[in-house]
Structure 1
């Protein structure tokens, strides 16, 4: 891309979307199986990030460019298992990647501590339909989807 300080996995389209987002707008970083284009028909812009293998890498790159919303209780939300999936024991929770998301968020915010907001899968889809943008990665981690709420830059 040729810009100093912009991580190489941030495409020009994503950079534009990040610049256009306002305080409180949400960005979903989704796995390869996420119904991004179906939800995109309802509103959010969909940006493909084929080849980005890990949602955590995209999250870290995005958080080098934007701040999280310090005015909401959980500016980092993850897709939680459905009750049925929990009963079936499909996955052991918490997933290791969830802790990674907390670590990335805390590191990007000068050590401010974050806890995750857990949003049941189908409710996560509903909230994602109202997001500003969905970034569709090649990640195949089950229940690895994350939603970030954009904050404001500190006053200089």
Structure 2
């Protein structure tokens, strides 16, 4: 363990976050998402598990280290409810609260149709699967610029 890093973040999660650059996408999903299949097509190439975490807990921990992109209209994307594109499920509001709090501002969240979401997920840097049972617990977070002091 290290100081200042949430204990839910494994060495592999921290490693992936360090490898990612500005504009790279990170998928955080529930246990029903076809994460292993899709993860094989990502840049990282394999699935990362955050067992024992629900989606908001995992996102909250990740967002302590990773800022969201401020150069795009919606740095977070979620999956639409199948058959009801305007439909809402509880995880949407829970995730909205997490990203708003992490960024200290209202963060726009875009929505994609199920198969469009899967296609976008395949273009992500990595996929983190939580123990969340869902449904519709599928989010893509776009990494922003990390402000650092000069060396």
**TM-score, normalising length from structure 1?**
0.88
Give the stretch that moved more between structures: 37-46 or 66-75. Answer: 37-46
For the aligned residue pairs, the C-alpha RMSD in angstroms reads 1.6
Q: Distance in 1 between matches of 2:39 and 2:137?
A: 19
Task: For residues 33-73 of structure 1, give each alpha carbon's deviation from its aligned partner in whole angstroms, at most 9, with x where no partner exists.
Answer: 11111112223431012222x11100000000010000011
Q: Distance in 1 between matches of 2:111 and 2:77?
A: 6
1:48 corresponds in structure 2 to: 49
**SS of structure 2 residue aligned to 1:37:** helix
Structure 1 segments (4+ residues) deviating >4 Å: none
1:6-155 matched pairs, under 5 angstroms = 6-45=5-44, 46-52=47-53, 54-83=54-83, 86=84, 93-109=87-103, 111-154=104-147
**TM-score, normalising length from structure 2?**
0.90
Can you give the 5+ residue segments of structure 1 that lack an aligned partner in the other structure? none
**SS of structure 2 residue aligned to 1:97:** helix
Q: Distance in 2 between matches of 1:18 and 1:155?
A: 15
**SS of structure 2 residue aligned to 1:65:** coil
Can you give the 5+ residue segments of structure 2 that lack an aligned partner in the other structure? none
